Structure 1
Amino acid sequence: MATDTRHLGVHIDRPVAQVYAFAADPANLPRWAPGLGGSVARVDGQWFVDTPEGRARLTFAPANEYGVLDHEVLTPAGETVYVPLRAIADGDATEVVFSLRRMPGMSDADFDRDTALVEGDLARLKAVLESAVG
């Protein structure tokens, strides 16, 4: 169970439908969240990512009109990590909010490291989407 949560966000100058469609597609993860893993594959209807620790399974929330991009990561060690992620309309733009949860026993240094990694991923998401035409 998480003991602390940091809500990390980024403002993207693109419509929420565009941001949601891109971020909801696990095949796009290597473009904006390379720390999770460099290779994503769909096998028998399930998504997998190759991480430094081994293959992890990704399960995303069903497609929805509310911008919910929550997903679960089943780690190679067998732990399930729930990741709350939202795309929220802000006029013609979008705010993306990632809720980073500190896991029990996680040190301050590790929590700060994970925070920096997520902030980097969100910055890449912004850069990729804002550099896209249209």
Structure 2
Amino acid sequence: MASQSRHISERIDRQAADVYGYTSDPAHLPAWAPGLGDSVEHEDGRWYVRTPAGRAGFAFAERNDFGVLDHDVTLPSGEVVHIPMRVIPDGDACEVVFTLRRLPGMSDDDLTRDAGLVQADLARLKHILEAGG
């Protein structure tokens, strides 16, 4: 059975390359995505985020010219969650699209809460980048 997804987006008035460059650097995660983790560590070539549930691994797709920011989060349990994300050029601006998938056992309320958290993260990203970050 296919999982349910929600596509959450935010238009950012910056060049797509600038948005991709900032967003693809895991060191910036705590600034724009504190819901994922409040700090990051780079150890032995891998990135980790400190989450309320413990230390989680984090890896973006390899740098690319297509704005693909897909990433895998390895939860403290060892479960890997794949998250599709894109920066889509639109003239002198762009749109960032995050695909939120319903995980097994996730309630409607949990999905709605997570969608709100992602929207807040994308709004924070917009604010940072439009302010010159």
Q: Same fold (TM over 0.5)?
A: yes
In the aligned structure 1, how far is the partner of 2:36 from the partner of 2:6?
A: 19
Unaligned runs of 5+ in 1: none
SS of 1:127's equivalent in the other structure is: helix
Q: Are 1:119 and 2:119 counterparts?
A: yes
Q: Are 1:63 and 2:63 counterparts?
A: yes
In the aligned structure 2, how far is the partner of 1:116 from the partner of 1:29?
A: 17
In the aligned structure 2, how far is the partner of 1:96 from the partner of 1:3?
A: 21
Query: CA deviation digits over 1:47-69, x for unaligned, max 9?
Result: 00011111000011000000000
SS of 1:132's equivalent in the other structure is: coil
In the aligned structure 1, how far is the partner of 2:22 from the partner of 2:45?
A: 19
Q: Which amino acid aligns with 1:30?
A: P
**Aligned residues of 1:2 and 1:102 also touching (Cα < 8 A):** no
Output aligned runs, 1:35-74, within 5 Å: 35-74=35-74
Query: CA deviation digits over 1:66-103, x for unaligned, max 9?
Result: 00000000000111000100000000101000000001
Query: CA deviation digits over 1:84-130, x for unaligned, max 9?
Result: 00000000101000000001221000000000000000000000000
Output aligned runs, 1:1-134, within 5 Å: 3-132=3-132
In the aligned structure 2, how far is the partner of 1:122 from the partner of 1:14?
A: 14
Q: Which amino acid aligns with 2:60?
A: F
Aligned pair count reads 133
Unaligned runs of 5+ in 2: none
Instruction: Provide runs of 4+ in structure 1 moved above 2 Å.
Output: none
Q: How much has 1:2 moved relative to structure 2? A: 5.6
CA RMSD of aligned residues (A): 1.1
In the aligned structure 2, how far is the partner of 1:42 from the partner of 1:128?
A: 23
